[in-house]
């Protein structure tokens, strides 16, 4: 649809209109004009309160369930949630049933998302059935539209398999995701190992469980000269390891989950399973290290790590509950309580570059992929604001700042 966006404050350092309030005219999904004032009553005019506009955001880790777990979330509703939460692109995790480990399933999920405002970008499983034994059909999946390859929330225990995958993936410039968690060190742990876990009598997960695997994976990356993205790091040492690897010139990027940036393990005092996530919410020391990593560029992007789960898998004993929280709806509002707007926009947009998605600036003759939001105002996140089918949010009753209006992408305006 053609659209005239009125009085929009541009937040895009790559644009010549950065930090300016302008009108933006979009014709056939292309920005045709940007000026202080544009008048055109022949197309729809959009004028929203304190409208700020940026390049479209991308969430690098979204689980939706379909196919196989539609009771948790469907692709269609998940894309609607993403659009109204400000995301023009999502990277879909392969933890479906059947697992996204072949070109047929990649094509299926992409077909389900056809014609929607938010673009769905599938991540293919790195190993068949995410079992960590045999490398999946990466080349075929990439040809079908997969943007990267990784087993969701599963480390590759076999170092040689990961080494071979890093070498093989270079033949077709594929990005590998390497989640870091030593299952033996984690054992039966369910929360961060520390004072809080001891007080509550819950089995702890040492930071070492993440760090020892990350160190190994970075050695493999250095050996193979491959390309690796490390999703959702959560410890002080992990930030240091990534920073050191980058200083060596290794082709490595990483993300952090919003709940690890905002919350500490003190929220566990009520044994609320909404806070059971993987990696676990850790201490203030780790949280501050992650925030510092965001500011100094060690951490490349921020993800909601959106993982819908039905009530049967969450409302139960802490040890038995599944890991995961939804996070799309609360992403911007939560981050705005701890980070400047410019940093939030940068880190929510950065995944596009990492995953090889077109990332054009807000400029004339460029495709329009835009997020619309208001950075001001305060509210409390409650169940009425949850758009997902599942309601397992770690941010219920948390104070939020600002509001997301929605997106313009793929020639479609999708706003609340």
Mean pLDDT on 134-161: 98
Contacts by 385-388, CB closer than 8 A, 24 or more apart: 385/329, 385/330, 386/326, 386/329, 387/77, 387/80, 387/81, 387/84, 387/85, 387/328, 387/329, 388/73, 388/77, 388/78, 388/81, 388/306, 388/308, 388/326, 388/328, 388/329
- Which two tokens mark 160? 């040689």
pLDDT tens track for 217-231:
999 999 999 999 999
Tokens of 261: 């940036």
Catalytic residue among 305, 323, 363, 384: 305
Q: How far is CA 243 from CA 136, 155, 174, 325, 351, in A?
A: 30, 21, 22, 28, 18
% residues pLDDT > 90 (the chain): 100
pLDDT number for residue 1: 93
> What's the alpha-carbon Rg for the chain, to the nearest Å?
21
The CATH architecture to which 3-52+365-376+401-415 belongs is Roll (2.30)
Question: pLDDT confidence of 176, banded at 50, 70, 90?
Answer: very high
Strands 57-62 and 87-92: parallel
What global pTM score does this model have? 0.96
Nearest to 355 by CA among 95, 116, 90, 137: 90
Tell me the per-residue pLDDT of 227-259, one tens digit each, with 9 for 90 and over.
Answer: 999 999 999 999 999 999 999 999 999 999 999
Task: Quick: pLDDT tens for 53-107.
Answer: 999 999 999 999 999 999 999 999 999 999 999 999 999 999 999 999 999 999 9
Average of per-residue pLDDT across 307-325: 95
* Domain layout of the chain by residue ranges: 3-52+365-376+401-415, 56-354
**Are the CB atoms for 74 and 318 separated by under 8 Å?**
no
- Please give the pLDDT value at position 58: 98
> Which residue is listed with tokens 């919410």?
281
- SS3 for the chain is CCEEEEEEEECCCCCCCCCCEEEEEEECCEEEEEECCCCCCCCEEECCCCCEEEECEEEEEECCCCCCCCCCCCHHHHHHHHHHCCEEEEEECCCCCCCCCCHHHHHHHHHHCCCCCCEEEEEECCEHHHCCCCECCHHHHHHHCCCEECCCCCCCCCHHHHHHHHHHHHHHCCCEECCCCCHHHHCCCCEECCHHHHHHCCCEECCHHHHHHHHHHHHHHHHHCCCEEECCCCCHHHHHHHHHHHHCCCCEEEEEEHHHHHCCHHHHHHCCHHHCCCCCCCCHHHHHHHHHHHHHCCCCEEECCECCCCHHHCCCCCCCCCCCEECCCCHHHHHCCCCCHHHHHHHHHHHHHHCCCCCCCCCCCCECCEEEEEEEEEEECCHHHCCCCCCCECCCCCEEEEEEEEEEECCEEEEC
Hey, do 3-52+365-376+401-415 and 56-354 end up sharing a CATH topology, with the first three levels equal? no
Respond yes or no: is residue 305 known to be catalytic. Answer: yes
Average pLDDT, the chain: 97
Q: How many CA atoms lie within 13 A of 66 on its CB side?
A: 17
- Compute how many other C-beta atoms are within 10 angstroms of the C-beta atom of residue 131: 13
Do β-strands 44-46 and 57-62 pair in parallel, antiparallel, or remain unpaired?
unpaired
Read off the pLDDT of residues 118-132 as tens digits, 9 standing for 90 and up. 999 999 999 999 999
Tokens representing 246 are 């980058």
Confidence of residue 415 (pLDDT cuts 50, 70, 90): very high
Instruction: Render pLDDT for 320-373 as a digit per residue (tens, 0 to 9).
Output: 999 999 999 999 999 999 999 999 999 999 999 999 999 999 999 999 999 999
The answer regarding whether domain 56-354 maps to CATH 3.20.20.140 reads yes
């Amino acid at each position: 649809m053609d659209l005239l966006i009125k009085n929009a404050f541009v937040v895009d350092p790559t644009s010549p209109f950065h930090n300016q309030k302008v009108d933006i005219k979009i014709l056939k999904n292309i920005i045709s004009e940007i000026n202080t004032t544009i008048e055109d009553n022949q197309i729809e005019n959009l004028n929203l309160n304190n409208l700020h506009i940026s390049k479209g955001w991308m969430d690098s880790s979204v689980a939706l369930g379909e196919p196989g777990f539609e009771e948790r979330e469907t692709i269609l509703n998940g894309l609607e949630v993403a659009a109204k939460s400000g995301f023009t692109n999502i990277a879909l995790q392969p933890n479906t049933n059947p697992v996204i480990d072949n070109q047929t399933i990649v094509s299926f999920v992409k077909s389900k998302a056809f014609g929607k405002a938010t673009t769905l970008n599938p991540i293919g499983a790195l190993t068949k059935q995410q079992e960590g034994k045999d490398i999946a059909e990466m080349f075929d999946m990439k040809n079908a539209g997969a943007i990267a390859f990784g087993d969701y929330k599963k480390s590759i225990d076999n170092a040689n398999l990961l080494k071979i995958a890093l070498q093989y993936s270079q033949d077709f410039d594929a990005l590998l995701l390497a989640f870091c968690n030593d299952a033996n060190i984690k054992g039966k742990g369910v929360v961060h190992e520390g004072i809080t876990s001891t007080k509550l009598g819950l089995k702890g997960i040492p930071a070492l469980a993440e760090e020892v695997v990350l160190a190994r994976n970075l050695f493999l990356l250095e050996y193979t000269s491959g390309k690796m993205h490390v999703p959702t790091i959560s410890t002080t040492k992990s930030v240091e390891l990534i920073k050191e690897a980058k200083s060596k010139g290794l082709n490595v990027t990483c993300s952090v989950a919003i709940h690890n940036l905002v919350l500490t393990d003190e929220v566990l005092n009520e044994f609320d399973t909404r806070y059971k996530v993987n990696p676990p919410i850790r201490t203030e020391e780790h949280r501050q290290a992650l925030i510092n990593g965001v500011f100094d560029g060690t951490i490349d992007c921020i993800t909601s790590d959106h993982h819908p789960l039905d009530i049967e898998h969450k409302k139960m004993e802490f040890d038995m509950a599944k890991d995961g929280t939804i996070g799309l709806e609360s992403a911007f509002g939560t981050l705005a309580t701890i980070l400047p707007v410019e940093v939030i926009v940068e880190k929510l947009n950065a995944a596009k570059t990492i995953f090889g998605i077109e990332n054009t600036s807000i400029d004339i003759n460029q495709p329009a992929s835009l997020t619309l939001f208001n950075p001001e105002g305060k509210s409390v996140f409650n169940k009425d604001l949850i758009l997902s089918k599942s309601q397992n949010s770690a941010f219920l009753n948390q104070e939020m700042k600002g509001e997301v209006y929605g997106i313009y992408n793929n020639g479609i305006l999708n706003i609340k």
